[in-house]
Amino acid sequence: MIGSREFSWGERTYLMGVLNVTPDSFSGDGTGDDVEAALQHALRMRDDGADFIDVGGESTRPGSEEVPAEEEMRRVLPVIERLAAGIEVPISIDTYKATVARAALEAGASLVNDVHGFRREPETARVAAEHGVPAVAMHNQRGRPFRDTIGDIAEGLLESLRIAREQGLAEEQVIVDPGFNFGWTEEQALEMLRRLRELQVVGRPLLIGTSRKSTIGKVLGDLPVEERVEGTAATVAIAIANGADIVRVHDVKEMARVARMADAIVRGWPRPA
């Protein structure tokens, strides 16, 4: 269970809709301080097929400045409170900071999405455990030595699982993310997608976020962010074919259709009643 919903991994692909409440989102869709705009965007994503709404108050684009926890909470908490009161889709808080995670869960979030996989702040895993919610642990390659793409990811994710256990969060409560574009060259990011199924050795549900990322822009001739929907669709379909359980996306309506078609091919169609 995540929030009030039960998720059956392997039956279909779930969609996580991105809700940036930042003024400097790389994708250009941040709502800033406009809580009403954020709420309306979340409702549209729900109606378009999002199974989660992932609320983030700090940009993770390369070179972005870190935001103090107090400012991050100022951005995300009013939005989470409004969403929790008016939307039944589980709300995820996109943060690595334990203080932000705790406040967001108390405001109504039911999933923690940590882009550092508990390696920056191990207490974030403890916060999730204390609140009885799952967490996404992402492998972040930025600043780490490279040896082998899948090997480095698997090693990092296993370390995140070790930290989770140490902090009291059961492995069964952890979803893993290989960290597409977080410290990888374009060639390595594409290799990650090709070899994604190898990460099933970690034994946990797999989330991947390729949406609008710079690798797509580079491959397609330096396309700007707003023109990367077709490239995103290709990466989402390949990810599903290679074992992804959740895809984190900006363009929910379009990617819900891609996921539905990919699922029909990969998992069979029509689905059993």
Name residue 164's amino acid: A
- For residues 119 and 97, what is the distance between their CA atoms, to the nearest angstrom? 11
pLDDT of 85 strictly over 50:
yes
Instruction: State residue 29's pLDDT score.
Output: 57
pTM to 2 decimals? 0.95
Q: Work out the average pLDDT over 126-142.
A: 98
For residue 217, name the pLDDT band (cuts at 50, 70, 90): very high
Place of tokens 């396309």: 223
Cis amide leading into 122 (omega within 30): no
Instruction: State residue 272's pLDDT score.
Output: 67
- For residues 152 and 165, what is the distance between their CA atoms, to the nearest angstrom? 20
Active-site amino acid positions = 213, 248
Share of the chain above pLDDT 90, in %: 90
For 112, the token pair is 């923690």
- For residues 22 and 29, what is the distance between their CA atoms, to the nearest angstrom? 9
Q: Work out the average pLDDT over 62-68.
A: 83
pLDDT of 216 strictly over 50:
yes
To the nearest whole number, what is the mean pLDDT of the chain?
94
Dihedrals φ, ψ of 88, to 5°? -90, -10
What are the residue ranges spanned by the domains of the chain? 14-264
Instruction: State residue 24's pLDDT score.
Output: 58
Instruction: State residue 109's pLDDT score.
Output: 98
Residue of 102, 109, 97, 103 whose CA lies nearest to 53? 109
Per-residue pLDDT tens for 74-84?
999 999 999 99
pLDDT of 26 strictly over 80:
no
Cis amide leading into 90 (omega within 30): no
Q: Using alpha carbons, list the distances in angstroms from residue 106 to 28, 78, 100, 167.
A: 29, 12, 10, 19
For 187, the token pair is 């060639």
pLDDT of 30 strictly over 90:
no
Q: How many CB atoms lie within 10 A of CB 249?
A: 31
pLDDT of 215 strictly over 80:
yes
pLDDT of 28 strictly over 50:
no
Instruction: Please enumerate in sequence order all residues whose Cβ is within 8 A of that of 105, keeping only pairs 6 or more positions apart, or say none.
Output: 93, 112, 127, 128, 131, 133
- For residues 206 and 194, what is the distance between their CA atoms, to the nearest angstrom? 14
Per-residue pLDDT tens for 137-196?
999 999 999 999 999 999 999 999 999 999 999 999 999 999 999 999 999 999 999 999
CB 125 within 8 Å of CB 118: yes
For 166, the token pair is 């140490």
For residue 64, name the pLDDT band (cuts at 50, 70, 90): confident
Residue of 249, 105, 84, 92 whose CA lies nearest to 175? 92
Q: Is residue 4 classed exposed, middle or buried when 0-12, 13-18 and 19+ CB atoms within 10 A define those classes?
A: exposed
Instruction: State residue 23's pLDDT score.
Output: 81
Place of tokens 């259709």: 257
For 138, the token pair is 């992402």
Instruction: State residue 27's pLDDT score.
Output: 45
The residue with greater pLDDT, 91 or 65, is: 91
CATH class of 14-264: alpha beta
